[in-house]
Chain A
Amino acid sequence: MSEKKSKKTSRRKFLSDLGLLGASSVAGGLALYAGNRFESEKKKSKKILALTSEYKVIQVEEEAASSIAKSEQEMTDLTKRGRVGLNGRRWVMVIDLSKCRNARKCMDACQAAHRLHPDQHHINVLQMKDTENTASYFMPKPCQHCDNPPCTAVCPVDATFKRQDGIVLIDNERCIGCRFCIAACPYSARVFQWGEPNNRAEDKDMEYDIEQNVPQKKGTISKCVFSADLLREGELPSCVSACPNGVYYFGDENEDAVTNGTTKETVKLSKLLKDSGAYTLKEELGTKPRVYYLPAKNRLFDFDENKDNHKV
């Protein structure tokens, strides 16, 4: 009897020990995990940069390291290089509002390049009217690729992030679709794939290219990425080269040069900004946009507020 009882108690003790161990290890593990996370993250990113032909050796190492490393390893090469970005570049866009006639070629080109529905906009030409007595003007509005981006600040999973060349990207293989970034963006620059995206038939087997954000994925965020895939090839973003009116300039701030997408003329960025009274959108919010606007002055065409100037 007593033996039975002691057995019982010892078993019970074991069970309660186990429960206690489980519960406290979950709590403690969480805490330790957070602490260790940053160190391992650092090591990891170094490893990924070192990845070359000795792929195999490192792979084994990573697998042994932790489960986080394992999932990190699932990143494709396209995503890896997309997350790193172009070294030594600082992309910048200049939009000359005095030239915008609302041709909307930028919107069309963008929607084609990024497989967007007609009502989804990475770049949207807005008709602005600042006060009752001032004139209307057209304002193309892409993502501002802020240097102090409010959207990436709130992302819970590093799905949206800023790279070294200034582009704010979105990883739709990471995104959980919480839409906090939409709420945080003061420029309404982000769209969500509420239903099936407008992918093409041939995109189906395509490997996900984070720099183009194609194929788009239902349930994730999509946004302007400055056509990062084209920049890598030395080409201008699709909206910039599509413009028939010379509205857009795009270039590298480090080179102090921007190239007009229509005329292909390259001008000095600093001089252009200085001479034309450039400004940034809602700079009082402290977002530090990488998109500059030149004011809508001395327009060389008639502006009809009521006409939808779709055609040039």
Chain B
Amino acid sequence: MRILFTLLTLSLSLISLAEGWTVPEDKKEKNAHFKFDKTSEESGKELYYKNCFSCHGDVGKNNYVKLNPDPGDLSTSEVAKQTDGELYYKLKKGKGLMPSFENSISSDDRWKIIAYIRTFHIGYSQIVELKDETISKDQIALKITKLEGDKFQVTATKELNGKTVKVKSVELELYVKRYFGQLLVDESKATNSEGKAIFSIEKNIPANQEGKITLIAKALNYENLKALQEFEYGFKNIQPPLNQERALWNTVDKAPIWLILGFSFGLLAIGAFIGFILLQLKNLRKQK
């Protein structure tokens, strides 16, 4: 048993060593859309002790759990030299023994944990997707367009002296409208220097009865800035009504055929039998 366990952990560590932990280039450049401050660091600390402490220990104290591979202390230069985007990606996706926190920690909270870890990295300076403070949200217009395949593009523009100018660094989230709320598709993205952010939406996302979905783009760093657009996209999910089949549990007009026949036959047989007896009794007096 012990041998098996050792072999297992060994192989796991070998795999992770061999593969390293590469983060896709575009993910590396991702940055938080808010400035790390005391408040975010505080709540980041709280989140850290809830979710990360059990393996990584206190940051800077090297009291992490001895696992294979080593979870490591997060104050080291190894960690410090990685970009915010890299840390964000790893926290989100996980690998090997490190679990994925995609579902259990929200996007903002992930940034807060990073804010806390960064307080141990000397010489760190945050690159933040700061919006252009000179523009107010009323000047910006968002537009959603469909591109090739599963890609959708959100463009942020503003009118300046009669000309349309692209706006960059608008942190956007794209939602699809559902009956009770809005479902986030893809992760948040900031518009690039072209004023564009490209999202992908899975092709089989359920559409309404007409085969349409309603998309909503929301700017995280401009309050109440949003756009709404309907597209013919997704999978027209037309399921039969749940009370369609003939079944014992369904209403009487959807009773199983065999039951209708059986019941009717039974009633007829009883009626006929009684009718026959009564007829015979009626004719009794004639039998002299």
Query: B135 at the A/B interface (Cβ < 8 Å)?
Result: no
A24-B271, A164-B243, A268-B183 known; A16 vs B282 contact (CB < 8 Å): yes
Is A41 in the interface zone, CB < 8 Å from B?
Answer: yes
B255 close to A162 (CB less than 8 A): no
**Chain B residues near A173 (CB-CB < 8 A):** none
When A164-B242, A254-B239 are in contact, do A27 and B270 touch as well, CB less than 8 Å? Answer: yes
| Interface contact tally, CB-CB below 8 A | 125
Do A23 and B179 touch (CB < 8 A)?
Answer: no
Are A162 and B178 in contact, with the CB atoms below 8 A? no
Q: B residues within 8 A CB of A162?
A: 242-243, 249-250
Contact with A along B110-146 (1 / 0, CB 8 A): 0000000000000000000000000000000000000
> Does residue B248 face the partner (Cβ distance < 8 Å to A)?
yes
Interface-central residue, B103, B243, B263, B279, by most chain A CB under 10 Å: B243
- In B219-256, the 8 Å CB interface with A consists of 237-239, 241-244, 247-253, 255
What separation, in Å, do the CA atoms of A257 and B282 have in the docked complex? 70
Q: Are A24 and B249 interface neighbours, CB within 8 A?
A: no
**Once bound together, how far apart are the Cα atoms of A265 and B244, in whole Å?**
32
B178 interface neighbour in A23, A42, A251, Cβ under 8 Å? A251
Residues of A with C-beta under 8 A to B260 = 34, 38
Write the nearest CB–CB distance from A222 to chain B, whole angstroms: 20
CB–CB B271/A236 < 8 A? no
Task: Decide if B275 touches A28 in the complex (CB within 8 Å).
Answer: yes
Asked, given contacts A251-B178, A254-B237, whether A20 binds B270 with beta carbons under 8 Å apart, the answer is no
A177 to B208, CA, bound (A): 40
Q: Count chain A residues whose beta carbon lies closer than 8 angstroms to a beta carbon of B.
A: 55
Is B264's CB within 8 Å of the partner chain A? yes
Q: Are A150 and B179 in contact, with the CB atoms below 8 A?
A: no
Q: Is A152 an interface residue (CB 8 A)?
A: yes
Q: How far is the CA of A27 from the CA of B270 in the complex (A)?
A: 8
Q: Verify if B209 is at the interface (C-beta below 8 Å from A).
A: yes
Digitize A79-109: 1 where CB-to-B-CB distance is under 8 Å, 0 elsewhere. 0000000011110000000000000000000
Check if A128 is an interface residue, CB within 8 A of chain B.
no
With known contacts A35-B264, A90-B242, A24–B274 Cβ distance under 8 A: yes
A-B contact pairs, 13 of them (CB 8 A): A24-B278, A28-B275, A35-B268, A87-B241, A149-B249, A153-B248, A254-B237, A255-B237, A257-B179, A259-B178, A264-B181, A266-B181, A266-B182
Interface residues of B (CB under 8 A from A): 50, 103, 175, 178-184, 205-206, 208-209, 237-239, 241-244, 247-253, 255, 260, 263-264, 267-268, 270-271, 274-275, 278-279, 282
Spell out A's residues near B (CB within 8 Å).
16-17, 20, 23-24, 27-28, 30-31, 34-35, 37-38, 41-42, 45, 87-90, 147-150, 152-153, 158, 161-166, 234-236, 250-259, 264-268, 271-272, 275, 300
